[in-house]
Chain A
């Protein structure tokens, strides 16, 4: 009997500890009353929660169907995903750029999220989804913009127009065969692009990481017509860790600048270049009047490794202005010729639109791609 009791007990506890249950209502979708988007449907797919010891793992597979109830074509949407109870200092967002949703059309947005948290936490909706912004064809914007999604989505839309224009010019000059060649070049470039594993952390690093630390200076690339110029910049380097980048920039335009983003490239001892990240500066404290100079400063550490974990010894750093937002909300980005002449196309990740076009080419071929480009 005692052995039966023990077996029953162990079986019961094991079942309690590893049970996988479907979720009733783990997500709350909040759209403002005057939102240009309406929620048509929410499906939870294979969402489930698994208990593991004293923790629960929540797997959310959410598919939203949104309806464009505005009179404008939607070009991009950003949803703010908050799980504040579990990660009080963190937040997440899901953006869908490169859209072309006509008025009264529906479109899907998928959110796949995993949350690991203690089981003892309180009830209520585990995840809240709020609308952060909608970008329209005419660059008008709706939303609270808590994540600065207006600037981000405007820049993506400008990159989309820039890259479509490039591929359309090839299509016009060299036909579908020329477009095919250009796509193959893009695909090869992306396949060969050196990639880094980057780990981002805010705040202070432990003392042991400071061994061999030194200040390294940025070298800057300049583009014709850029409204903001980098003046000088530094970052603290310790082995494969780069910390606290600070870059002085000067507004050489006649317009007030609201935010600047400097793209950051690192190189190893062999001179191979890798995209490390970007250093943005925005917010009320950053206000760059015409002709003035200001400092882009971030209290962050980037830990860089390559080839599945080998630490990258940082030998050199290069920066360039990747994005400028003016006070009126307009955005400047480098043109494709500037990026090509600085040999950056093989280092930078493709724009979301180029990613979409490459995917379309891969799945449906050059004719379908040409048809897609001709829609715009």
Chain B
């Protein structure tokens, strides 16, 4: 018996096969327990991929405001540096308003894209409802994350740190401050 390859089975599990290939795969699956198991195994992977594909929540209005502000700033900067015509390596007459604006718009589009890509993104998403707050220990301290905004207490003067969690919604990091010699205990709470 010739088994369908992995990609066919994965596409079948995701209901992404065309009619003809789907029918052929169904016929095979009806007789092949091994491939049925493969298809079943793809189901959770498919769910995970669907979750990964979800975009982080974006404030489109805020993004639009930022882009408009950047465009205004760019235009103002253009006005600032335009000044009087001077002799230069390029004939000034070639730089019509249209060309300058086109160049400016291109640069702004680049900057807007940069801003978009640079936006702080949430860290590894835990399987907790998006509206929940999460407390965790990070390399440099303890962190409270609420919808992408974070509050962290850091232990910059020690590497020997003990962490403990409180089921009422708290996280604690205890260390000896190397400058003062005092034990310092940082706590974060979520209500």
Contacts and interface: CB of A to CB of B under 8 A. Distances in A.
Interface in B166-191: 166-171, 174-177, 179-191
Interface majority SS on B: helix, strand, loop or mixed?
A: mixed
Interface stretch (B5-13, B21-29, B31-39, B129-137): B129-137
A90 B144 contact: yes
B168 to A, nearest CB: 5
B184 A17 contact: no
Contact of B155 (A55, A112, A208): A112
Contacts of A353: 183
Interface in B84-136: 88, 90, 92, 95, 99-100, 102-104, 106-108, 110-111, 114-116, 118-120, 126-129, 131-136
A228 interface: no
A215 B153 CA distance: 34
B191 A198 contact: no
B106 to A, nearest CB: 7
B76 to A, nearest CB: 10
Interface string A199-218: 11111111011000000000
Contacts of A113: 151-154
A257 interface: no
A28 interface: no
A359 B128 CA distance: 38
A200 B77 contact: no
15 contacts: A2-B99, A5-B78, A9-B107, A10-B110, A17-B115, A54-B66, A54-B115, A87-B144, A92-B189, A93-B186, A94-B184, A108-B182, A147-B189, A200-B169, A355-B174
Given A94-B187, A298-B168, A355-B174, 19 more contacts: A1-B100, A2-B104, A3-B103, A6-B106, A89-B133, A90-B133, A95-B187, A107-B182, A111-B153, A113-B152, A114-B152, A115-B150, A198-B136, A198-B165, A208-B51, A278-B164, A349-B163, A355-B176, A356-B182
Interface of A: 1-6, 8-10, 12-14, 16-17, 52-55, 61, 81, 83, 86-99, 107-118, 120, 147, 195, 197-206, 208-209, 241, 245, 264, 275-280, 298, 300-303, 349-350, 352-353, 355-356, 359-360
Interface of B: 47, 51, 59, 62-63, 66, 70, 73-74, 77-78, 81, 88, 90, 92, 95, 99-100, 102-104, 106-108, 110-111, 114-116, 118-120, 126-129, 131-137, 141, 144, 146, 148-157, 160, 162-171, 174-177, 179-191
